[in-house]
Amino acid sequence: MLRVATLSSVLALMASVAMAEEIKVGVSPGEHAEIMEDVAKVAAPMGLDIDVVEFSDYVIPNTALADGDIEANSFQHVPYLDNQMKDRGFELVVVGNTITTPMGIYSDKIEDLATLEDGAKVAIPNDPTNGGRALLLLQDLGLVTLAEGTGLVPSPLDVQDNPKGLKFLELDAALHRAAFFIYDETYPRRAF
């Protein structure tokens, strides 16, 4: 059902972006690329050729859109876009919605977070919105307490209570498909 809703949103987006016969849409690898490939198949019989352009860096799709190299992109949630527009001066608008991949924690060795050792290294995305999502998840799991009023973009500096003494490593999200992970052996997953 989500995929159908997303296809509908993206087709509406495509119709509103351009009446051209071909448009270029920037996506991140994985779910966003797979969905856009399906959208391209649905759009083709309607006379719209969608050229799906994959980017492995999460800043370049917005730069390419702002520069006119692509006509649309589909890879990010609104808080990430808002942050990019504020930080980089992009003048972009949301014309449709896409998926937001849920965030979770995965491990090759730890089966229960209760066994997480004190001082474990936790890698989180280095962009404010997704790093914030990772910290909010850790707070929801009772592993940290964040300062009041941090909203959706807390940083490791906003951690007020850290009973396990977790050490945060802020990494470029493109370096790992997981949203964040417990560096020693566990990792959460997400997309932009």
Residue-wise pLDDT tens digits, 22-79: 999 999 888 899 999 999 999 999 999 999 999 988 889 999 999 999 999 998 888 8
User: What does the pLDDT read at residue 111?
Assistant: 82
Claim: this prediction has a pTM higher than 0.85:
no
Q: Among residues of the chain, what percentage have pLDDT more than 70?
A: 78
Using alpha carbons only, give the angle 151, 157, 163 rounded to the nearest 5 degrees.
Answer: 100
What structural domains and CATH numbers belong to the chain? Answer: 2-88 (3.40.190.10), 104-189 (3.40.190.10)
How many other CB atoms are there within 10 angstroms of residue 56's CB atom? 9
Token representation of residue 182: 């417990």
Q: Describe the crossing of helices 31-43 and 2-17 by its angle, rounded to 10 degrees.
A: 60
Average pLDDT over residues 92-97: 92
114-131 residue pLDDT tens: 888 899 888 888 888 888
Question: What's phi and psi for 89, nearest 5 deg?
Answer: 75, 20
User: What does the pLDDT read at residue 90?
Assistant: 95
Q: Pick the more confident residue, 191 or 53.
A: 53
Residues 6+ apart with CB under 8 A from 71: 17, 18, 20, 23, 24, 25, 65
User: What does the pLDDT read at residue 20?
Assistant: 60
How does residue 186 score in pLDDT terms, banded at 50, 70 and 90? Answer: very low
Residue 84 in contact with residue 90, Cβ under 8 Å?
yes
